[in-house]
Amino acid sequence: VPRPGAQAAPGGGGDNTALISEILELRQKKADMLGYKNFAEVSCASKMATPAKAMELMEDLRKSAYDEAVREAKELKEFAKEKGFEGEMMPWDEGYYAELYRQEKLDFDEEALRPYLALPNVLDGMFALAKRLFDIDVVQVDDKAPPTWNKDVRFFEVRRGGEPVAYLYLDPYARPEEKRGGAWMDECAARSRAMGVDGGVRLPVAHMVCNQSPPVGGKPSLMTVREVETLFHEFGHALQHMLTQQDQGLVSGVRGIPWDAVELPSQWAENWCYDRKTMSGIAKHHETGEAIPEELWNKLKAAKTYRAASRLLRQLQFSVTDLILHSEGLNGKASPHDVYKEVAQKYLITQPMQFDRFLCGFSHIFAGGDAAGYFS
């Protein structure tokens, strides 16, 4: 599986390497027309970071993570040897033994947490956190709720000092027949004085959409840790939109946020899932009310940081490759894959295979909005 995945464009009619080079050339022409040195400067013109500052951050992170990643690699090789592995460890061997190590050494099963993560408790804990941090109450309202697009959609009023400041829709459950996968937050309306009535301010309205399992057999929706993280993630976005104090609708809430700042509130919110006090208010057995056992909590924390340095270096490699391709181009290299591998020599412990064509499927920077901005 890893080999055909890495060889997404092995050559012949399916090789889109030439398209990558063409895209880079066209972006450089665009930069020239706009008066910028390169496309990285074009991309960062509307971001908080400059290309130089972004590269500086990537290097600082590399220095912080590299030694730990070396230790992780050594530990994994020793474990593989204990299991009878001999010879050079290939990328697919690394993935296999990393998962085997996780199962045997960490002994953590995400499914064991489901009974402790019932949606009603998770919502109560998440809203209690919002109360603690922002002095707001998130209250489900039924008597004056507007029509919704599905019976499972919930409508909340966000209050401060008893007065409404925003509204929130939550569509929590999967409906494969009519709803795409994933999770997202978006606005229904932005805070705006111009759109207010009788001199007032129109209050912001946000919606959050998730895709977790619905209640089954009289049991509430029981969530995985990843689903809880996702819920907090989208709630972080929603809070930024709902708690804005900006009355100019075009720049209030989530509007007008620099690209490399968009995920700050969501990542911040996710971190609270691993705060013991917050989790104590969330993780209660849906039948007995028992708190999450300390042993299970410790396993969750260990699993969260398992091989974190190696995973960080991988993302840094992607980010630096993106910035170099959009600032220096091929820089004398025969193909973009040579740039990718040169960056890997500095940022990765295990080097890509010779046939690796990851860039041919790197849609984030060649078909999405992350060109010279993957670092964000």
Convert the pLDDT of each residue in 131-149 to its tens digit.
999 999 999 998 878 999 9
What are the E-state strand segments in the chain? 137-140, 154-160, 163-173, 184-189, 205-212
**Choice between 7 and 137, residue whose per-residue pLDDT is larger:** 137
B/e letters for 182-215, b = 16+ CB within 10 Å, e = fewer, are ebebebebbbbeeeeeeeebbbbbbbbbbbbbee
CB within 8 Å of 329: residues ≥ 6 apart: 24, 25, 28, 38
Mean pLDDT of all residues in 24-42: 97
- The per-residue pLDDT of the chain, averaged, comes to 93
**Catalytic center residues:** 234
pLDDT, tens digit (0-9, with 9 covering 90-100), for 119-135: 999 999 999 999 999 99
Kindly report the number of other CB atoms within 10 A of residue 134's CB atom: 15
Contact 220, 214 (CB under 8 A): no
Confidence of residue 3 (pLDDT cuts 50, 70, 90): low
Over residues 348-370, mean pLDDT: 91
Structure tokens of 234? 């989208």
Least trusted range by pLDDT, from 108-112, 219-223, 228-232, 238-242: 108-112
Tokens of 156: 């909340």
Q: What is the pLDDT of residue 11?
A: 53
Q: Which amino acid is it at 131?
A: K
More confident site: 307 or 2: 307
Asked whether residue 14 carries a pLDDT value surpassing 50, the answer given is yes
**Residue-level pLDDT at 1:** 47
List, for residues 168-207, the tens digit of each pLDDT value: 999 999 999 999 999 999 999 999 999 999 889 999 999 9
Length of the chain: 376
Query: At residue 120, what is the residue type?
Result: P
Burial class (CB in 10 A: 0-12, 13-18, 19+), 78: exposed
* Tokens coding 294: 């300390």
Contacts of the segment 47-52: beta carbons below 8 A, 24+ positions apart: 47/258, 47/259, 47/260, 47/261, 47/373, 47/376, 48/258, 48/260, 48/261, 49/260, 49/375, 49/376, 51/323, 51/327, 51/372
Is 290:284 a contact under the CB 8 Å cutoff? yes
| 145: three-class secondary structure by DSSP | coil
Taking residues 83-103, what's their average pLDDT? 91
Q: Answer whether 284's CB lies under 8 Å from 113's CB.
A: no
Residues 6 or more apart whose Cβ sits within 8 Å of residue 177: none
pTM of the model: 0.87
**Has residue 247 got a pLDDT over 50?**
yes
So what's the pLDDT on residue 2? 52
- How far is Cα 204 from Cα 193, in angstroms, rounded to an integer? 11
Give CA angle at 150 (270, 180), nearest 5°: 55
Find out whether 168 and 153 touch, Cβ atoms under 8 Å. Answer: no
